[in-house]
Structure 1
Amino acid sequence: MFVCPAGHLAIKKSRQGKTGVGTNQVNTYYFDVEKCKVCPLRENCYKPGAKTKTYSVSIKSDLHKEQMAFQETEYYKEKIKERYKIEAKNSELKNVHGYKRATSYGIENMEMQGALAIFTVNLKRILKLIN
């Protein structure tokens, strides 16, 4: 069970969310509202007139835990510093050169549109470097 900062024990616990789905499940702890009404710390957590008081704790899935561990590695921290440069180029392609939406049907036409947009951006970069 969960204990609030004032030392009151939760009266009920339930697990919410589905297993095996992309979202994390949540443990929800329910507290006695009568204790919350007279609690000295009620300004921080109890709203007057509330019928229930709950606190939810997310249960991290294995995939989520793996991702959190990966984000602590030096490799990730090194790569994230370079990401803004790549995102700036992607933004330019989408917003300036029409890479956001296909202009015609078919995979060949989409490939041609992508090639032309990337060629245009690279040509602009080359011209800028020459000057």
Structure 2
Amino acid sequence: MYITYPIKKLFRNKKYYKTKREEDYREGYRYSFLKKDCEKCNFREECAGKKAKKKVLSVGLNTAEFYSMSQEQKDDTFKEKYHKRASIESKNAEQKRFHDLDGAKGYGLRSVSTQAKLTALAVNLKTILRIVVKKTTDFKKKIGGYCKRNILLFIS
């Protein structure tokens, strides 16, 4: 449930805050509302909580950008692009996790480029092999116990 406030009338002060921890770095503004207005309000328990005497609202500096990004993500063109990207990301994750693409084996741009191309080649060969094996097993099921040698000759 969203509650709207006539903010300019209710909040007492606006303070800038910044966390000092690096792993959870945040900055923005905290709006403190007046105790007397919160005590009179009908939505106090839903808004501030049962034990709280006043509402403190924290708004990050990037809130507007995050909101605009969330609205863009609801668009159909974004969903189509994301669907294409999701299929590519799985291959990138496979290259990184199982084929040591997370760290370069050599020095220089040429060495890293060669490593990336060879890794992509290995992943593509695995995909091709998976498709060929699936086709041979499907074909074998259709003809019912046909000789493996003849199947491989038929496919190649």
- Band of TM-score, shorter chain: 0.5 to 0.7
- The answer to whether the 8 A contact 2:10-2:37 is kept is no
Structure 1 residues 13 and 109, CA gap change in structure 2 (3 angstroms): same
Q: For residues 1-131 of structure 1, what are the structure 2 equivalents within 5 Å?
A: 2-3=5-6, 9-14=10-15, 26-33=28-35, 36=38, 42-44=44-46, 45-46=48-49, 48=51, 53-58=55-60, 59-61=63-65, 65=68, 67-131=69-133
Percent identity between matched residues is 31
Structure 2 gaps, min length 5:
19-25, 134-156
- Cα deviations across residues 36-62 of structure 1 (Å, max 9, x unaligned)? 5786655442575x797521234525x
Query: Normalised by the size of structure 1, how large is the TM-score?
Result: 0.65
| Two-structure CA RMSD over aligned residues (Å) | 3.5
Q: Larger % of helix: which?
A: 2
What is the deviation of 1:84?
2.7
- Cα deviations across residues 3-59 of structure 1 (Å, max 9, x unaligned)? 48xxx8222234567xxxxxx9744321234665786655442575x7975212345
Paired AA for residue 30 in structure 1: S
What is the deviation of 1:92?
0.7
Query: Normalised by the size of structure 2, how large is the TM-score?
Result: 0.56
Secondary structure of 2:58 counterpart: strand
Equivalenced residue count is 118
- The answer to whether the 8 A contact 1:30-1:55 is kept is yes
